[in-house]
Amino acid sequence: MPEPAIEVRGLRRTYGRTVAVAGLDLTVERGQCVALLGPNGAGKTTTTEILEGYRHRDAGEVRVLGTDPAHAPRRWRARIGIVLQQVSDLGELTVRESLRHFAGYYPDPRPVDEVLTRIGLEEKADARGRTLSGGQRRRLDVGLGIIGRPELLFLDEPTTGFDPEARREFWSLIGTLRAEGTTILLTTHYLDEAEALADVVGVISRGRLVALDAPHDLGGRHAGRAVVSWRDDDGARRSEHTDTPTRVVAELAARFGGEVPGLAVSRPSLEDAYLELIGGEAE
Ligand code: ATP
């Protein structure tokens, strides 16, 4: 087995009396896309920024691409890509100039035109940073994150402010990067984004990792009780919670003598599983 891309044991970080990260463990294998979910203030950004080498930790062991980010050399930094939570201010530089400038920091950057295409900003290549819309700036941030051809990409709430089409395009960009073998650690508040992109979802609550599983399995949701619902003869919607939905559907089919009006069978959604895992902590 190759060494994991990220390995964290017993990570702690406090700010004064606030315990932001309270003994967190996390392993991300090479090539995985992992989404971290958690309520505001759960410790996602603090954790991510410690992994990026931007914040110090009080305790715990951290290896990122085999190196402790607190003592990482420059050549380590060139192997990771980072999209921070706040939009960067690139003021007077044009989109192309910004990309070209950042490309200069890396030994084997992607061609600027390729990145422009990937982030869908070809038409804005010669526009100055300050004239871009919020979503366009965010796309440029993503472009700056991938220009160095990173082995590991950190994305902190990357699609905040994107319109639905831009989000879909971003998802497809992430799909391409994954297919190329890039390891991705992403924080997001959009559960559909986690479901669409991640091999594994981690839920952080009060500074600890409380679940780490495939989106489909999180919180045991695929094994959760199903809800069978249908429309009765009087037109009213009826539903039944059951561990044996097939039996319920068969009984309904027999009762209606064929098609069951308005039949639907559902399992707990990722949102249901997530809300259950964080208990009453959501703000
Ligand atoms: P969000 O979803 O809102 O981005 P988060 O999960 O990323 O939240 P963090 O930003 O890591 O959470 O914050 C965790 C806790 O640490 C919060 O209680 C926050 O107020 C506190 N905190 C974070 N940064 C600082 C700081 N620089 N100084 C003091 N407290 C901080």
State pLDDT tens for residues 77-128: 999 999 987 766 777 899 999 999 999 999 999 999 999 999 999 999 999 9
Distance of alpha carbon 25 from the chain centroid: 17
Range name among 47-61, 77-91, 179-193 with the lowest pLDDT average: 77-91
> In the chain, which ranges are E strands?
6-15, 18-28, 33-37, 59-64, 80-83, 152-156, 183-187, 200-205, 208-213, 226-231, 237-242, 264-266
Q: Residue 179: CB partners within 8 Å, gap ≥ 6?
A: none
Strand partners, 236: none
| pLDDT value of position 283 | 45
The residues that bridge with 240 in the sheet, in sequence order, are: 228
Query: Which atom number of ligand 1 is nearest to the Cα of residue 157?
Result: 4
Q: What is the pLDDT of residues 224-281, one digit of tens each?
A: 788 899 999 888 999 998 989 999 999 999 999 999 999 999 888 888 889 988 886 5
CA 16–ligand 1 middle distance (angstroms): 12
Whether the per-residue pLDDT at 282 is higher than 50: the answer is: no
Task: Choose which residue among 19, 45, 155 to substitute to test ligand 1 binding: the one with the highest number of ligand atoms within 8 A of its C-beta.
Answer: 45
**In a 3-state reduction of DSSP, which class is residue 128?**
strand
Fold of 1-79+150-223+269-283: Rossmann fold (3.40.50)
Q: Is 206 left (phi over 0), alpha (psi -120 to 50) or beta?
A: left
Question: Ligand 1 atom 26: the closest Cα is on which residue?
Answer: 15
Backbone angles phi, psi at 228, to 5 degrees: -100, 125
List all residues 6 or more positions away from 250 whose beta carbon is below 8 Å from its beta carbon: none
267's tokens: 């399992």
Instruction: Return the domain boundaries, the chain.
Output: 1-79+150-223+269-283, 92-141, 225-266
Mutate to test the pocket of ligand 1, among 14, 15, 50, 191 (most ligand atoms within 8 A of CB): 15
The type of residue at 167 is R
The set of residues, in sequence order, having a beta carbon less than 8 Å from that of 26 and lying 6+ positions away, is 6, 7, 8, 11, 47, 202, 209, 212
- Cα–Cα distance for residue pair 141/132, rounded to 1 Å: 12
Q: How far apart are CA 74 and CA 87, in angstroms?
A: 24
Q: Determine if the pTM surpasses 0.95.
A: no
